[in-house]
Chains A and B, each alone.
Chain A
Amino acid sequence: MVVQTVYMILRWIAAGRAPFSNMFESMVLFVWALVVVYLVLQFRHKIPVLAAATALLAALTLAYASTYEAEIKPLMPALRSNWLTVHVFTCFLGYGAFAVGALSSLGYLVARKADLQGAFDTITAKTISFGFLFLTAGIITGAVWANSAWGTYWSWDPKETWSLITWFVYAVFLHCRYMRGWKGKRAAWISVAGFASVVFTYYGVNFLLSGLHSYAAS
């Protein structure tokens, strides 16, 4: 993670802007966020199998990122905004947390020991609470940015709409958990569904649906 942080800082300096503007850069940021969230979590919950799963996901994502063009390219006019940095950073910190939450939920679903299941369940709830705050901040900063660039904070663009769908899924998770006491399998499945929505919002929308975020597919 240290090497990756140094790499991102060097790329930031070389580009003269935050390295958060295309698929390669955002995947690198996602891996960074994923690892950061896990490392912070590790202070309280040490689960080797979750560490291994996180490392595997990070390695696979980095390998996939390497298939994209890594050349630093200048930003198009609409992306030249400080809101880009805040918006993408907050979103990806949320995505990283949701990824750890989904891994933890999958761990819950396959685990057989009750104490391990309990730890996975707690981690799922904590990571989703963290991710939800940052996803919300990401959607809000995106809306403020859109308002300063295009004069509309919400235009039902596919990316925006799928972010909202993801937000709904996790809002349902949090309500079910804290208002109805949902734990265990049901909560784990919502968490997995939420992360599937994250993946579609981040990756699927770029390639399957057109909209204001179409530049993100490059």
Chain B
Amino acid sequence: MPTNSIPTKSFSSRALDLLASVKFAVAVVAIIAAACIAGTLLPQGTEVAQYLAKHPAATQRMQWLGKLGLTHIFQSWWFIGMLCLLAATTAVCSTRRFSTVLRTAGFARRRALGSMLTHISILLILTGGVIRGVWGEKGYLEFREGEVTSAFVTETGPKTLPFQLQLAKFEVEGYDKKQPTVEDGLFVIKTADNSQKLLSAKVGLEQSFEDYKITVLKYIPDFMVDTATKEITSRSDEPRNPAILVAVNGPTYQNHRWLFAKFPDFSMPAKGTTPTGPSPLQLVFAAQLKRMPAGPVKTFRSTVILPTGQHTLEVNRPLKYGGYTFYQSGYNPRDLAYTSFEVVKDPGVPVVYAGFGLMLVGLFIVFYLNPWLDDRRKRA
């Protein structure tokens, strides 16, 4: 006896149909887009504190927004949940496109193939993001020239690299190619109790430090002592061995000394002068002729020493080593021996980049290759 009952779909089948429907996908995308708009209009993360500093009256409002998860939208469970839903609908669409690829031929097949690749690319990009979230690390480290470190700081606390790196050199390059002179240099003056001050190395400029008057009397770019005449002279005009002659005049102490940029621990009395006693000051010509460029900064770069040798990194040219990537990120214009790096470990990048490539290929097939082939076929 024939039955008139209509076969009902199982729950899983209906769920898959829902995920595959354009309406559902559009709804998911619309919610994500609305959340994105909110995320750009409402203060997020660290911006909240800055916002409250400017608008203290908004504290209660911010607390409410925080409770609703609207002050950290892009990290909230519900936003990540929406992205998972997007991944689910994309996965189902990709599967259905795959069956279309198998079932059809010609225009329809190529269109389904391009569309499938585009949808798979979204899955790859989201997967790369998950890999980054689970296995990735991101932090920063800061150090000075000569220092060795393996420590970096992440949002969750300090971490240690499996190797050490030393900052050999840091430099800031400007568009102005003028070579720095001794006048751009500095020297450090310290007292026994470790108070210190940076003074300009400009020749003839009298500067004060506590009760002392300090003047740079002379600059020699390539210091040498003539062995025959015992006279101090410059071997060349290049700053190969820069030295300054500093006069220190205080109530109880006077001295004229030569300070050397390349030998900071060494100084020597000027010919024909005798200090009036043991020096209460420690003078270091720490200049290395560093200065901020006069005009806009072009780039800044660091030379670091790793177990494999010396490497350079600069803005837009990161350094990859030991599974980590180091990005030149910052410096202090008042202290050019200091720099900071972003430290990133992101095993998801190749997956994301594969997604990027696949997306472009998929879109090219859908919008250009397929219509062009179809057009050619019709003309033929």
- A residues at B contact (CB < 8 Å): 73-74, 76-78, 80-81, 83, 129-130, 132-133, 136-137, 140, 143-144, 147-154, 156, 158, 161-162, 164-165, 168-169, 171-172, 175-176, 179-180, 205, 209
Contact bitstring B39-73, A, C-beta under 8 A = 1, else 0: 11100100000000000000000000000000000
Which residue in chain A gives the minimum CB-CB distance to B297?
Answer: A77
Count, A-B residue pairs, CB within 8 A: 99
Measured in the bound complex, the distance between the Cα atoms of B299 and A80 in whole Å is 8
Rounded to whole Å, the gap between the CB of A159 and the closest CB of chain B is 9
Interface residue count for B (Cβ, 8 Å)? 45
Q: A132-B367, A151-B344 are in contact. Are A165 and B33 (CB under 8 A)?
A: yes
Q: Is the CB of A143 within 8 A of B356?
A: yes
Bound form: Cα–Cα A132–B39 in Å: 23
Q: Which chain A residue has the least Cβ–Cβ distance from B73? A: A156
- B residues less than 8 Å from A162 (CB atoms): 36, 40
- Cα–Cα, bound, A83→B356 (Å): 15
B6 located at the interface, meaning its Cβ lies under 8 Å from any Cβ of chain A in the complex: no
Minimum C-beta distance from B353 to chain A (A): 7
Q: Is B363 within 8 A of A133, CB to CB?
A: yes
Tell me whether A153 and B360 are in contact (CB under 8 A): no
B359/A149 in contact, CB under 8 A = no
Residues A77 and B316 in contact, CB atoms below 8 Å apart:
yes
- Given A148-B316, A165-B33, A168-B29, decide whether A77 and B300 contact each other with a Cβ distance below 8 A: yes
Write the B275-311 contact mask toward A (1 if CB under 8 angstroms, else 0). Answer: 0000000000000000000011111100000000000
CA of A77 to CA of B302, assembled, Å:
14
A-B contact pairs, 15 of them (CB 8 A): A73-B296, A76-B296, A80-B316, A130-B367, A133-B363, A133-B367, A133-B368, A136-B360, A143-B352, A144-B356, A148-B318, A151-B138, A151-B327, A164-B36, A176-B26
Q: Please determine whether A81 and B316 come into contact, CB atoms closer than 8 angstroms.
A: yes
Residues of B within 8 Å of A205, CB to CB, are 40
B135 CB to nearest A CB, Å: 15
Q: Which residue of B lies closest to A209 (CB)?
A: B40
Query: Complex formed: what's the CA distance from A81 to B29 in Å?
Result: 33
The answer to whether A172 and B26 touch across the interface, beta carbons within 8 angstroms, is yes
Expressed in whole angstroms, the minimum distance between the Cβ of B132 and any Cβ of chain A is 9
Q: Hey, what's the 0/1 contact readout for B12-31 against A, CB within 8 Å counting as 1?
A: 00000000001001100110
> Are A171 and B29 touching (Cβ within 8 A)?
yes
Contacts of B352 in A (CB 8 A): 143, 153
The secondary-structure label for the interface of chain A is: helix
Inter-subunit contact B342/A150 (CB<8 Å): yes
A150-B342, A156-B74 are known; give 12 further A-B pairs, CB within 8 A. A74-B295, A74-B296, A81-B316, A132-B367, A144-B356, A148-B317, A151-B138, A152-B138, A156-B44, A165-B36, A179-B22, A209-B40
Q: Are B33 and A136 in contact (CB under 8 A)?
A: no
| Binary contact readout B220-251 vs A (1 if CB under 8 angstroms, 0 otherwise) | 00000000000000000000000000000000
Most chain A CB atoms below 10 A, which of B44, B315, B346:
B315
Does residue B364 face the partner (Cβ distance < 8 Å to A)? Answer: yes
Docked pose: A175 CA to B299 CA in angstroms: 44
Residues of B close to A149: CB separation below 8 A = 315-316, 327
A124→B342 CA distance, assembly (Å): 44
Q: How far is the CA of A147 from the CA of B56 in the complex (A)?
A: 36
A210 vs B120: C-alpha distance when bound (angstroms): 33
B37 in contact (CB, < 8 A): yes
User: Contact at A180–B22, with CB atoms within 8 Å?
Assistant: yes
Return the contact of B364 from the options A133, A140, A147, A171 (Cβ within 8 A): A133
Question: A161: which B residues are within 8 A, CB to CB?
Answer: 36, 39-40
Provide the bound-state CA to CA distance between A180 and B24, in Å.
13
Closest beta carbon of chain A to B13's beta carbon, Å: 20
